[in-house]
Amino acid sequence: MSARKQSDSVMVSPMNDLQLFLPCAAGVESWLAEEVSRITELPAGAVQVLRAGVLVRGSWRAMLQLNLHSRLAQRVLVQLSRSPYATEQDLYEAASTVPWEIWMAPTHTFRVDVTSQHSPLRSLNFATLRIKDAVADRFRARSGDRPSVDTRQPHVRIYAHLTQDRVALYIDTSGEPLFKRGWREDKGDAPLKETLAAAMIAASGWQPDAGVPLYDPCCGSGTIAIEAAQMACHMAPGLQRRFGFERLLPHQAHVWQTLREQARAAEVRPDEVTVFGSDVAHRMVDFAQRNAARAGVAHALQLRGGDALQRMPPTEVPGLLLVNPPYGERIAAAGVAGERAEQRAYRVHRVQDVPRMAGTLGLRGRSAAVGGRESAVVDGRADEGQDDFFARLASHWKHHFTGWTAWMLTPDRTLPRRMRLQESRKIPMWNGPIECRLFRFDLVAGSVARRRPGTGAEGQPPAADPGSPRP
């Protein structure tokens, strides 16, 4: 007997009672749930925290609001069905029963993407093909015509997620991922996604209306600073882009236009600038300034050039330092600003020396070939016992940023020890496939303490880092 005949399938709900799934970076789920509740004003029971996402029971209007206002979600998906399966034929039958004609027309193009977690199926490509066939066959049986597949720029994106014995089918309402806000045209190497920048801000507890300064001394193309400035201006992150739901059949342009006008009307102009950024590479500062202008917040933040080891606090009032330093890119205090990571790796280390360097850092594959983004080191000198950039940065902060709170995102769990600082908090957070920690440091007066080898911050034994299970 087919698993489909024993189905406990949950079929598509009416437009006023949709099951929405919002995927996010692992470690961000709790902040996303809070954001969803704030945006939609749904009761607590309508929002469920899952691994790497949030499940929401809401209306079509709630879906529109989430696409427009969410800073943390990667997409907004509508769950259309959830069924047991054992074979690829069960996937075909599950997709055949979904009323796709409610969402799209035969003239639309579509694409199917399949992800899996412990699926027993041998080929996801074949699973994808069977779901495509089911969608096309359903249209052909009802209208005599079928939609075409377009893997590059489809009108409609369909997602299927396979667990060990369940398949969930979704239709995408976002189109391009939500981190693509529409304003970042200038960027450097390995830029931070806007959604992760927003997650760092959320985790720090910074409130844009509290008047607390936020400063990124390694701002790059300005992602963290611009996200914070838009929050200070009460700007909806989705105002400058298009969405996938605009091509779906239930879309009502007048409802969407009303929400956009309401978002525009809610924008404010801050009385004072509380968001600051700087970078040693003046080229990156130019990028950040142009991005800020496109984002509509050039008036709400201050961007300057300058070495992080020399920049003084931008305000007399203590605030937050929020930093995402390069992972494995060579950092020098002067002279090589703006160089690409690969260029620096081959300039600083001869090609034949790269495998030795990679082995020291524990890198593999292509990351090993170019230095990677897995560990924070400075010109390869950290393992030689020399003072590195991060130790000097910590000393600078303790001398000049007394009373500030510093937050730093890094995959290097030894960084607090190397900075000779004791973290007061560490939050697991994933930057794509890289497992990171967002460390909090409460800066106090004085210079960095001189330590004996093997001691931790302020001459104390190093704190144990039991680690955390993967979110």
Q: Region 224-245: what's the mean pLDDT? A: 97
* Of the options 3.40.430.10, 3.40.50.2000, 3.30.2130.30, 3.40.50.720, the CATH number for the domain spanning 3-172: 3.30.2130.30
pLDDT for position 354 = 31
pLDDT at 262 exceeding the cut of 90: yes
Q: Any long-range contacts for 205-211 (C-beta under 8 Å, 24+ apart)?
A: 206/320, 206/322, 208/232, 208/234, 208/274, 211/272, 211/274, 211/317
Q: Which residues pair with 406 in a beta bridge?
A: 321, 441
Could you give phi then psi for residue 465, rounded to 5 degrees? -115, 90
Of the pLDDT bands very low, low, confident and very high (cuts 50, 70, 90), residue 389 is confident
Short-list 344, 328, 337, 340, CA closest to 218: 337
Angle between helical axes of 88-96 and 124-143 (0-180°, round to 10): 30
User: Distance between CA 385 and CA 443 in Å, rounded?
Assistant: 24
pLDDT tens track for 372-382: 333 444 444 44
Question: Which of the 8 DSSP states describes residue 108?
Answer: S
- In this predicted model, which residue has the larger pLDDT, 347 or 157? 157
Q: Residue 325's pLDDT is what?
A: 85
Q: What is the mean pLDDT of residues 236-258?
A: 96
pLDDT of residue 15: 81
Secondary-structure class of domain 194-243+267-459 per CATH? alpha beta
How many other CB atoms are there within 10 angstroms of residue 122's CB atom?
9
Q: For residue 186, what pLDDT is reported?
A: 77
- Per-residue pLDDT at 328: 54
**Confidence label for 463 from pLDDT (cuts 50, 70 and 90):** very low
**Tokens describing residue 137:** 């066959």
Q: Scan for tokens 């009307």, then name that residue.
A: 265
Indicate whether 385 pLDDT > 60. no
CA dihedral of 49, 53, 57, 59, whole degrees rounded to 10: 150
Distance CA 58, CA 43 (A): 10
> Who has greater pLDDT, 55 or 364?
55
The percent of residues in the chain predicted with pLDDT above 70, rounded, is 78
What average pLDDT does the chain have?
A: 82
Structure tokens at 216: 């990124």
Tell me the H-state helices in 205-353.
223-232, 253-265, 282-295, 341-348
Write down the pLDDT at residue 190.
67
Give me the pLDDT at residue 333, please. Answer: 40
Q: Which of 24-28, 74-78, 361-365, 415-419 has the highest mean pLDDT?
A: 74-78
222 Ramachandran zone, left/alpha/beta (phi>0; psi -120 to 50) = left
Provide the 3-class DSSP secondary structure of residue 306.
Answer: coil
Give residue limits of the domains in the chain. Answer: 3-172, 194-243+267-459
User: Which range has the top average pLDDT, 8-12, 179-183, 351-355?
Assistant: 179-183
| CA–CA dist 52, 117 (Å, integer) | 13
Q: Is the pLDDT of residue 11 over 80?
A: no
The answer to pTM > 0.85 is no
Q: Inform me whether the pLDDT recorded for 335 exceeds 70.
A: no
User: How many residues does this entry show for the chain?
Assistant: 471
Per-residue pLDDT reduced to its tens digit, 151-197: 999 999 999 999 999 999 999 999 999 999 999 887 766 678 999 99
Strands 53-58 and 47-50: antiparallel
Q: How would residue 470 be classed by pLDDT, with cut points 50, 70 and 90?
A: very low
Query: Starting at the edge strand that comes first in sequence, how are the strands of the sheet with 18-23 ordered?
Result: 47-50, 53-58, 18-23, 77-84, 166-172, 156-162, 109-116, 148-149
By the 8 A CB rule, do 118 and 129 touch?
A: no
Residue 264 predicted with pLDDT over 70:
yes
Element (H, E) at 305: strand 301-305
CA–CA separation, 81 and 175 (whole Å): 20
383 alpha carbon, distance to own chain's centre:
31
DSSP 245: G
Give 20-78 pLDDT, tens digit per residue.
Answer: 999 999 899 999 999 999 999 998 789 999 988 999 999 999 999 999 999 999 999 99
The whole-number pLDDT of residue 14 equals: 66
pLDDT score, position 185: 84
The confidence band for 327, taking pLDDT boundaries of 50, 70 and 90, is: low
Single out the residue of 429, 409, 425, 431 nearest to residue 470, CA to CA.
429
> Would you say 167 and 161 are in contact if contact means Cβ atoms under 8 Å apart?
yes
Cα–Cα distance for residue pair 139/340, rounded to 1 Å? 50
Residue pair 35/70 in contact (Cβ under 8 Å)? The answer is yes
